[in-house]
Amino acid sequence: QVQLVESGGGSVQAGGSLRLSCEVSGNLGSSYWVAWFRQVPGNEREGVAHIHIGGTITRYGHAVLGRFTISQDNANNIVYLQMNSLKIEDSAMYYCAAVLSDTGLWYRAADYRYWGQGTQVTVTS
């Protein structure tokens, strides 16, 4: 059974930083894809960043490019999202998700089979 568990959310002032973690367990093999999404009430889930586990490819949404960094700790099956220069508009519930193959539309939430429960990020002024 595949499980994804997010942690690291919280409240931070604008301009600050947070690091989210996504612990992945279960049999996904040595090559799969993990993405971070975020969602505010009333909106669709927005793709934030994407990484190939077992490879080197990373992709980012335009809103976070240059501020957020996605990385992997293969030894511990953890995917991180380092968030710097946080803005009020970054406030959302953040989810990590996994899929076995890259569909070419990494930001499309419907393509991901496995999801975590989410962790809340709140950025204050």
Burial of 51 (0-12, 13-18, 19+ CB in 10 A): buried
- The Cα–Cα gap between 114 and 125 comes to 34
Percent of the chain whose pLDDT exceeds 70 = 100
- When the pLDDT of each residue in the chain is averaged and rounded to a whole number, the result is 96
**Band of pLDDT at residue 105, cut at 50, 70 and 90:** very high
* Residue 40 backbone dihedrals phi, psi, to 5 degrees: -110, 150
Sheet holding 3-7, edge to edge: 3-7, 18-25, 78-83, 68-73
pLDDT tens digits along 55-68: 899 999 999 999 99
pLDDT, position 104: 83
| Predicted confidence (pLDDT) at residue 122 exceeds the cutoff of 90 | yes
